[in-house]
Amino acid sequence: MNQKRLFVFILSLLVFSFLVRIWRISEPNRYYFDEVYHVVTARAYSQNNPEAYDPFAPAPEKNTAFDWLHPPLAKLIQAGSIKIFGDKPLGWRLPSAIFGTGIVIATFFLASALFGPTVAIFASSVIAFENLIFVMSRITMNDVFVTFFTLVSFIFTYFYVTRGKVRDLVLTCVFLGLAVSSKWSGAYTIIACSVFILWSKLRVRKFDIRLIFLVLIPPAVYLLSFSQYWLQGHSFKQFIDLNKQVWWYQNREDLEHSYGTTALWCAPKGLNGPKTWCPWILDVRGVYLSYEQYGSKAGYIYAIGNPLIFWSGVLGVSFCLGLLIEQRKKEYVFLLLGYFIFWIPWIFSPRIMFLYHYLPAIPFLAISLGVVLAEIWKTRFKFISIIVIVIFTAGFFYFYPITSGWPIEPKAIDSFMWLKTWR
């Protein structure tokens, strides 16, 4: 595919991805799921209200609470949107739609850097029609932000390893800082990129003193993400105490939620309660986010993945593992490191989690599928690659009603519940 056609393709995919995310983004016209924490906090940030950073502040509204459990960057971006577009659902959710669309283009560029344009075309097509990415791109939460910054960090990490330019290393470190400033799980991004860089240097027995940036810049960006906090007059001791509170909460074993999981188990009664097998990689247990009545119809929002992509993605990752064993290329090391770092550690989570914590792994799963489809494309059976993308697309639109809140007849919900565990 020539450059002009490639540009038209990715532009068309981006326009589609943004439009499908922004369409009816103001529905439901109320807080839903964790927006009861994130929206009120972003609003407080937009008003420069110091209570938003106080773990012991009273609830700003009934049935809400300030979100001090995560770093402020994503909520600061949302606060900026509220200031520009107003304190309404569009203002709350627009940044998620933008960064969720950004995941598509970032997946394209990472796949292109690793494996070339053909893999990039297939990988970005897969991620554009993935329902869990879509759902989390339409809610005021922070998961799409850490996913986007993670992908960009991986892009510049690969550039640094292959080109050796200090600019790429600095940009890597900046985006690593942005990732962890959006959500603490961005620390896995720092681990993955640092390990890959150090491993690459050890292979050629060439150490670069500038690697000290890896331990200097991300923490500096993290501290800068609290600029509003510092300007409000908080002390460093208060900052340490706040982060201790976050650490304490994130390690609580007594939390319960009917949709609570770990990477391998459903644990609705918490980690100390009964568990059933429901690994994230098989899309077994999503999260019921919202129900809205529209006359005789109802709008449901389930945070589930496109099962066709999830299930075939297991084969895609397995295929790339085989290629790594056979070819021993650093590109497969990096791809698989990116995939496994975002779900294997959660097996040992000290608290319950949800399917959307798997979100940063999905672009790497999409790239692995892109590798498979690109390999098929080289053969006389290339039409199969197109058929697979068409099937993924059909799956996306099939589940679109229950991942977007589109009004349907209540009895129709049964046709979408392919797995009993989705309810």
Return the structure tokens found at 93. Answer: 């959710």
Share of the chain above pLDDT 90, in %: 92
Other C-beta atoms lying within 10 Å of the C-beta of residue 234: 17
Where are any strands of DSSP class E within 333-422? 407-408
- If we measure between CA atoms, which residue out of 164, 4, 18 comes closest to residue 105? 18
| Band of pLDDT at residue 26, cut at 50, 70 and 90 | very high
Return the structure tokens found at 401. Answer: 């009603």
- If we measure between CA atoms, which residue out of 159, 185, 186 comes closest to residue 175? 186
Q: Is pLDDT at 206 greater than 90 in this prediction? A: no
Q: Is pLDDT at 1 greater than 80 in this prediction? A: no
Return the structure tokens found at 108. Answer: 């394209």
Return the structure tokens found at 56. Answer: 């012991």
The mean per-residue pLDDT over the stretch 51-68 comes to 94
Looking at residue 204, what is its pLDDT? 83
Return the structure tokens found at 151. Answer: 């992908």
Looking at residue 219, what is its pLDDT? 97
Q: How far is CA 52 from CA 142, 225, 274, in A?
A: 16, 14, 35
Say if CB 89 and CB 67 are below 8 A apart: no
- Model-wide pTM > 0.85: yes
From the CA atom positions of the chain, what is the Rg in Å? 21
Q: Is pLDDT at 423 greater than 90 in this prediction? A: no
Ordered by start, the domain boundaries in the chain are: 3-422
Q: Is pLDDT at 150 greater than 90 in this prediction? A: yes
Q: Please state, rounded to an integer, the average pLDDT across all residues of the chain.
A: 95
Q: What is the DSSP letter of 34?
A: T
Where are any strands of DSSP class E within 227-320? 265-266, 276-277, 287-294, 297-303
Say if CB 130 and CB 305 are below 8 A apart: yes
Looking at residue 254, what is its pLDDT? 82
Between CA 138 and CA 67 the distance in angstroms is 18
Looking at residue 407, what is its pLDDT? 97
pLDDT tens, 268-284? 998 888 999 999 999 99
Between CA 109 and CA 123 the distance in angstroms is 10
Between CA 243 and CA 374 the distance in angstroms is 45
Return the structure tokens found at 221. Answer: 């960006």
Residues 6+ apart with CB under 8 A from 160: 168, 169, 172, 197
The mean per-residue pLDDT over the stretch 70-84 comes to 97
pLDDT tens, 91-120? 999 999 999 999 999 999 999 999 999 999
| Band of pLDDT at residue 250, cut at 50, 70 and 90 | confident
* CA-based torsion, 178, 179, 180, 182: positive or negative: positive
Three-state SS for 290? strand
| Band of pLDDT at residue 349, cut at 50, 70 and 90 | confident
Three-state SS for 226? coil
Q: Is pLDDT at 13 greater than 80 in this prediction? A: yes
